Each structure stands twice: as structure tokens, then as C-alpha cells.
Structure 1
Amino acid sequence: MGCSFSGLNALYDAVNGGEDVWINENRYRILRQLGEGGFAFVFLVQQVASDSSSSVGKKLRDPSLISDDGRYAIKKVVIQSDEQLQLVKEEIRVSGLFSHANLLPLIDHAIIAVKAMQGGWNHEAYLLFPVHLDGTLLDNANSLKAKKEFFSTLDVLQIFRQLCAGLKHMHSFDPPYAHNDVKPGNVLITHRKRDPPLAILMDFGSARPARKEIRSRSEALQLQEWAAEHCSAPFRAPELWDCPSHADIDERTDIWSLGCTLYATMYGVSPFEFVVGESGSLQLAIVNAQIKWPPGPNPPYPEALHQFITWTLQPQAAVRPRIDDIIFHVDKLISKFT
């Protein structure tokens, strides 16, 4: 799907007012807002039937992405600089690389030019995705926490296993890609009657080739600055907080974030947010890999699960496990606790 810069391929009027959005040849009616953050807004939309023969289905490589009820999610990004425009184009490009059941697919997209209030032109991007209305893993964990409830051990492991599968797909590229922002807020959950929840990793705005050679102090500082902007602090690997002047960064930054996400699935908070009250510094807690365990369910989560998390949170990236090691051991845990 190519980007369109035609103003005709846009909104009729205000995107917040229940109006219609065009993405290429397809028309969608905004039903309600699902979320927002930074310069992005996410809306639940309904495809509007067209008299023409064109349809979203004809544009998809995978027909399974066609919504049975015509509902989708649209992410609107307000672009106010050339740098933001390039970031959105890169997100679109990277999203198109992946095809996996546990990674959110980009169905269609358009980038349009819009007149700025002060004159001149800005851009807006519209990205079309399948919709998942049961919320994020963060939403679900917070809901359980408010009721003093917890995911079962098996659901925790099954959710985690699906995230591992999605990351393995990304890490298997040549060169490997890192997601760089694995966290509960970027995991969509769909509840199923007789199966564990479906978990889908989303938001590839920070995804980049994973491997980077750092050979100077200036390169290390540039990486830290990039990470501070693109990688959520409570889930950010130690080497992205305090990068040595000579280091080989790789996809194991995601393994750290994955371990933090597993902990947060269990307890509703990242491990280092839990201990930061004592150390006073999130960075210090992360660099020192300070891990403590909150009061858990009754009976509590098994010690084997705690040991597994500790193993993923090795502060030295060189000894941190890779995704294949993680999958091997989580499969053993699933077999043990099924």
C-alpha cells in the first residue's frame, strides 16, 4: 500500500466529530476514541459500504485480516516536522516487514497534507489495524489489581509465550529487529472462552535493526539519548541507560523488557517501579537489577517462575539469554504447570 499525499484522501472535516475518514479508496466512520498518547490518537471505526467495486479486502495479502463486522482501529498521527514525518514513514515500513499471529499487522495507511493554522502545510498519517476491544495487558493487569485478583500461573505463561513467539519472528530477521518498547501497554489482549487470552504485540514506532556497534563516548551518548526518547523507562535495559564507550548492542535489550513485562503481568507493576521507593532512583534500581517480589496470589506464584524472571533480567547483556533459550524454558514451565 503506498502513501498518498492527496488532501482528497483525508477527513471530511473534524476527525473527532464522528466524521468519515478515507484511507486510499476505503471509507471509515469514526465510532469513538479508544486512546491517545503524544501526537497519536486511536479510534474505533466502521467501514462504510461503497457502491464501487473497491474494498479493503482486495488490498490485503492476508484475507484473514478482513473484519467480519467491518470494524477496525485507526491510528491518527499529527505530524508537525520533517523529523516526525520520517519517523512515521519508518514505522509504516517496519510494520510491513512482519507477518505473525502475535504481531499486530498494518492493514492499510495514508499520509495526507493538511493546511496548518499559521499557514503552510503539515501532514497527518492514518494507519489501519485490526481492532481488539478487550484492552491492553496493562488495562487488564490494572483491572485485576484493583480487584486484588491475579492472572493464573498458566495464563501468565501462555501470554508470555505468545509474546516470545512474536519477538522470535522479529529477532529472526537478517539483520535482527528489536521492538525496543516491549511493555504491557503495547500488548493487546483478547479474551477467549476455552483458551488462554490471545496476546498481540503492537506499536513498531521504535523498532529498528537490533545490532549496533558502539565505539566512542559520543556514540554511547547518542544511543542513550535515542533510548530515552523511544524506550519506556521502567522496561528499558541497563545498557540503554548507561552505555559503555565500547559495546555491542543486540536484540537482548528486548529480553530485558520481556522479563519486566512478565513480572508486570503477574503483579501489575514493573519490578523496578516496585523497588524504586527504596532506592529513590529508577536507573539505579535497573542497573543493579534490584528485584523484590510483592505479595502475590494465594497460593503464590511458584518459585520457578520467580527464578525464570531473574534469569531474564541479567544486567550484563552478554550473559542474558536469547529468545530461543527463553522459549525453550517457558515451554518447560508450561508443561510443568499445565
Structure 2
Amino acid sequence: MLHLSSLISNIGSRNLKVTVRVDVADLRNHRTNRQPHQEFRTLGDARRWSSPAARSRGGGRIRRMGCSISGLNALYESATGGGDVWINERRFRVLRQIGEGGFAFVYLVREQQPASDAAPARRHAAHVSEDGIYAMKKVLIQSKEQLDLVREEIRVSSLFNHPNLLPLIDHAIIAVKSTQGDWSHEAYLLFPVHLDGTLFDNANIMLSRKEFYSTADVLQIFRQMCEGLKHMHSFDPPYAHNDVKPGNVLITRRKGQAPVATLMDFGSARPARKQIRSRSEALQLQEWAAEHCSAPYRAPELWDCPSHADIDERTDIWSLGCTLYAIMFNVSPFEYALGESGGSLQLAIVNGQLKWPAGPSPPYPDELRQFVIWMLQPQPAMRPHIGDVVLHVDKLITKYLS
């Protein structure tokens, strides 16, 4: 284990002592007489040591968090005020921030000229941006629990390969130690960029303009979401997304064509099927759902779980029904309860108290409303599985788009 310590002055508005832990393999001149520790006086020295050129000369290989990631590069740039971030051996220029939430920030980045011919070979051809523009999510990690969650998000995201699921292209995790001696981490996750925003963003704009999607667009957007979710539900064991909502559906507009829908954010995705056999297990599930599943789209059984229940992927079907409603009317189906005197979002959801918007609304066929009702059954056993949902939406597409 190699420890690197250096005092970096005036990072932001404070001094920060940074320590990076790395494993060193195949060090030249250390095969027979290895030293337990080695110290670099500057991050620049460490970065030069960890560069591809140095490694080609036998300088060793840095590994971190189970990934072959040159974390020192990213740390060096942030510590010295540079505008670049390194992920593995790929260098990205930060252009601007495009979003934030909780402990995460999303940046628009452009890939710089690869430093070696080896870097492009690792990329999936379908995920290479022609103009080098990507979205980079930076997560500030303050606890072991948060670190475990990020690692799980990376693991789960790497399982899926579908055109309607946002792919994780690359990632890095950096360990940092402050002057107070506390360890923290920063994670960098690289994704394709979608600059047209999410369904939630578009809904807010359309609501302010009193605009609605056409029946054709509603069905085609929804079908793409279903295809992505079907891919997850088809795993063995099936995976539930657990946070299907308009804010997690990216939209790409195409002139003269229906928008492309891409389901994202797999931080809450887990194996879908759980056997609940005690009150304690039921309360644990409810507590987990309260932290990971957005309240307006959370299934009734995750609000009030019985002490004896079999939970499955149909929790996502409830969320899918709520999202279809939101695509149609630009609002979620149960948040009306928050505006009522004595209203309760939980009671509205658990009792399935669905209300249709008052006033002028788009002339959607009644079959579309019945489709929503079919998915919003409070009893999970009464809800369809994703395969049935896809078959039904295909029938509606054939009827209304042909």
C-alpha cells in the first residue's frame, strides 16, 4: 500500500491535506526489496509516476476501488485548480454545470485528445460521442454507507445494455483525507449527454404553456420506457428500478418524429423479489423505500407493507402507471392530496384514490385512461406484469397510429 500526502494551498477558500491510497503492482527495482511505504513530495511527482508513459517504462500500475482508474490524475487537476478531470486514461474538460441534487453535481464535459491509443479500445462503439461531449456526474461521498450505495449503483448500472436504459460509460472513485483526518470520497460517473432534459422538465414547460403531448407521442414515449423496464425485469433474478418517475426519464427531441425516451438513475435498483415474513422486515422495507423511492410514485405496498407479503417487480408497474398519467397531464396523479385540507399523499396512494384533472384536457381516448387505471391497482396481484403492459401498448399503437 502506498500513501501519498501533500499540503495543497488555497483550494477554494481553505487549505486541504490530501491523502490518496493506491495499490502498487510490479514496481521496478522493488521485486526483491520492497519498501512498505513510499512518499511523493508533490502531486505532480505522483501524477508523472502514474502516467501511461511511466507505466510503459515499468513504473507500476495504480489500482483503486477495484477499478484500473488513475485517480491521482483527477485529484491533481482539482487540487491545482485545473479544469480537467481524468477517468482512467481519458481526459475531460469541464464546460459547465447542468444540474445538481443532494450530494451530486452534473457537468457537461468534452473529452480531450486521448493520451494513448489504448483508451479508445475499451469503449463500446455505440457509446462514443462524435463531438466528444458527455455528461459527468460527481458525487460527494461522506460515509461508508454512501460509498457502498455508489458502488452498488455502478455495479447495477453495468449489468444493463439496452437502448432505452442510460449506459454508464466509465467511472472513477477517489479517496481524499482532509486536514481533520477524516476520509471522504468523490465519485465520477460518465454518461452520454441528453440536453433536452427529462420528462419532468418538459412537463413543467408544457404545463406553463397549457400544452400536451399528442396521443401518438404519449404512446411512443411510454412504449420506450416499457422496453427499458422490460429488460430489467427479464433478468434472473428480475431487477426493479424502484424509482420510475418523469424526473428519471431523459427525452431527446427529433424533428418530425416522436421523442426518444431513456430511463436513467439506477441508484435504487435492486433484485425485485422479496419475501416479507415479519413486522420487523416490513418496517425495514418501508424505511428503505422512504429513502430510495420518490413518494408521489411509490407503490402502496412500499408505504404500508403487510407482515406477510411477497414483493415483486410490480412495484415498478405502479410507478409506470403514475408516470403515464404524468406524460398525459403534466402532473402526477396523487399529489392533488397535498393541496387539500387534511389531505394525505400516503392515504390517497394506499387507497388508490385516483382523480382526473379538472378543466380543459387533451382529447385522449378512454382506453388510455383505462390503461392507467389497470396499472394503478392498490393490490399488487391485480396489476399486470411488464410483458402484458407492452402487449397492450402495442395494441393501442396499432389502433391509434396506423
Structure with larger Rg? 2
* Correspondence list, 1:1-16, <5 A: 3=67, 7-14=71-78
1:321 aligns with 2:384: yes
Q: Which amino acid aligns with 1:34?
A: I
**Residues 21 and 174 of structure 1: CA distance in aligned 2, closer, same or farther (over 3 Å):** same
Of structures 1 and 2, the one scoring higher in RCO (CA 8 A, sep 6+) is: 1
Q: Which amino acid aligns with 1:323?
A: I
Match of 1:122 in 2: 184
Among 327, 334, 338, which residue is 2:397 paired with?
334
* Correspondence list, 1:98-137, <5 A: 98-137=160-199
CA distance in 1, matches of 2:359, 2:227: 27
Match of 2:154 in 1: 92
What is the SS of the residue equivalent to 2:118? Answer: coil
Residue pair 1:141, 1:265 contacting (<8 A) in 2 also = yes
Match of 2:131 in 1: 69
Match of 1:259 in 2: 321
Measured after TM superposition, the shift of residue 115 of structure 1 is: 2.3
**Residues 44 and 36 of structure 1: CA distance in aligned 2, closer, same or farther (over 3 Å):** same
1:64-95: CA deviations, max 9, x gaps? Answer: 11000000011111111111111110000000
1:36 aligns with 2:116: no
Match of 1:209 in 2: 271
1:246 aligns with 2:329: no
Residue pair 2:233, 2:240 contacting (<8 A) in 1 also = yes
1:139-168: CA deviations, max 9, x gaps? Answer: 011111111101111101111000000000
Q: Which has the higher strand share?
A: 2
**Greater Cα offset, 266-275 or 64-73:** 266-275
What is the SS of the residue equivalent to 1:191? Answer: strand
Identity across the alignment (%): 74
Residue pair 1:2, 1:110 contacting (<8 A) in 2 also = no
**Residues 299 and 208 of structure 1: CA distance in aligned 2, closer, same or farther (over 3 Å):** closer
CA distance in 1, matches of 2:209, 2:220: 22
Residue pair 1:262, 1:309 contacting (<8 A) in 2 also = yes
Identify unmatched segments of 5+ residues in structure 1.
Answer: none
Residue pair 2:70, 2:87 contacting (<8 A) in 1 also = no
Residue pair 2:337, 2:344 contacting (<8 A) in 1 also = no
Q: Which amino acid aligns with 1:21?
A: V
Measured after TM superposition, the shift of residue 50 of structure 1 is: 3.2
CA distance in 1, matches of 2:391, 2:370: 15
Following TM superposition, the consecutive aligned residue runs of length 4 or more in structure 1 with deviations greater than 6 angstroms are none
CA distance in 1, matches of 2:361, 2:316: 31
Residue pair 2:92, 2:109 contacting (<8 A) in 1 also = yes
Measured after TM superposition, the shift of residue 22 of structure 1 is: 0.7
* Correspondence list, 1:175-190, <5 A: 175-190=237-252
Measured after TM superposition, the shift of residue 336 of structure 1 is: 1.4
Among 152, 169, 173, which residue is 2:214 paired with?
152
Identify unmatched segments of 5+ residues in structure 2.
Answer: 1-64
Measured after TM superposition, the shift of residue 299 of structure 1 is: 4.8
1:265-284: CA deviations, max 9, x gaps? Answer: 11111100134433610000
* Correspondence list, 1:155-170, <5 A: 155-170=217-232
CA distance in 2, matches of 1:333, 1:238: 27
Residue pair 1:5, 1:113 contacting (<8 A) in 2 also = no
Residue pair 2:69, 2:89 contacting (<8 A) in 1 also = no
CA distance in 1, matches of 2:245, 2:197: 14
Measured after TM superposition, the shift of residue 12 of structure 1 is: 3.8
**Alignment root-mean-square deviation, CA:** 1.8
